[in-house]
Amino acid sequence: MTQLIDGKAVSSKLLEALKHDIATLKSAPGLAVILVGDNPASKSYIGMKKKACANLGVQSFEFLLPEASTESELIDVIDTLNARKEVHGILLQMPLPKHFDEQAMLHRIAPEKDVDGFHPVNVGNLLIGRDTFKSCTPFGVMALLQHYNIQTEGKHVVIVGRSNIVGKPMAAMLMQNEVGANATVTVCHSRTKDLASITRQADILIAAIGKPLFITKDMVGDGAVVIDVGINRVDDSSDARGYKLVGDVDYTAVAQTASAITPVPGGVGPLTIAMLMTNTVTAYKRQTEAG
């Protein structure tokens, strides 16, 4: 019988433990979130982050800039937050409007406050195996694998997607010489030839390509563990919203083949916010100890 990997349940346990940890601190950790423009999905995500902060006892600072803002205006906000002692983590919500250089803006965030794990210093530390802030979504995948005791050592993990947010850091985490990693990793992408022949070899298949229902049953080997990172809106006239959320995996069909699988929604998604909160508390502790 296929095992359901319940991200909501795992996230709840992690957040509850984190809440007790925060209660023992001398002051509240502070997380600042910056949103440029009014992207509905970004607004929704920020709302969930704000709620998580309130539930845990984390200070939440919100900075909303108009879409027509300049890079100079955004840099001023980031520099101010870098200097504020009560702000321990800074999150710049992606995507930015097209006239922004996203990488330059992310690089402006102080590495010690980069709780999203996107700064080159933290990315580099991750690659060479040093303790650092990890990108929240792949960090959440690692937490799920650990919670369900899904062994990665010596296993062939195939990642479909090579983004800086998921694919690349996911590969770096899984290949480390440490407990919970030690996997043999293959990263596939839009230029990969005969993709299905590679994905069928996976002991663990991680889909992070951003295409609804892209991974079909014939692309998954019998007994594979399937982790669906994707979350896509597709039209659905039967839903009051006019759409439904689906992953990158054809869940109904693939669940017949997989030994374990994450649903969408309710799989990887809840872990992303849990790991953001984890990184924020870690940032607080490091900065408090350092200063």
SS (H, E, C) 23-43: HCCCCCCEEEEEEECCCHHHH
Contact call for residues 278 and 19 (beta carbons, < 8 A): no
Give the chain's end-to-end CA distance (angstroms, integer): 52
How many angstroms separate the CA atoms of 192 and 178, rounded?
29
Q: Does 116 participate in catalysis according to the annotation?
A: yes
The single residue of 8, 38, 76, 93 carrying the catalytic annotation is: 93
- Catalytic residue check, 103: no
What is the residue whose two structure tokens read 């937050």?
Answer: 81
DSSP 202-215: -SEEEE-S--TT-B
Nearest Cα neighbor of 77 from 95, 89, 59, 65 is 65
**Catalytic one of 113, 114, 116, 203:** 116
> What is the side-by-side strand order in the sheet with 59-65?
59-65, 30-36, 89-92
CB-CB contact of 49 with 91 (8 Å): yes
Rounded Cα distance between 188 and 161, Å, is: 6
CA dihedral 123, 124, 130, 132 (to 10 degrees): -30
Cα 262 to Cα 2, 7, 164, 215, 256, distances in angstroms: 10, 7, 22, 13, 13
For residue 56, give the amino acid letter. Answer: L
φ/ψ of 97, rounded to 5, equals: -55, 155
Whether 53 and 31 have beta carbons less than 8 Å apart is answered as yes
One of 49, 113, 134, 168 is an active-site residue; which one? 49
Quick check: is 151 catalytic? no
Q: Which residue has the tokens 């982050």?
A: 49
Residues annotated as catalytic (active site), given as ranges:
49, 93, 116
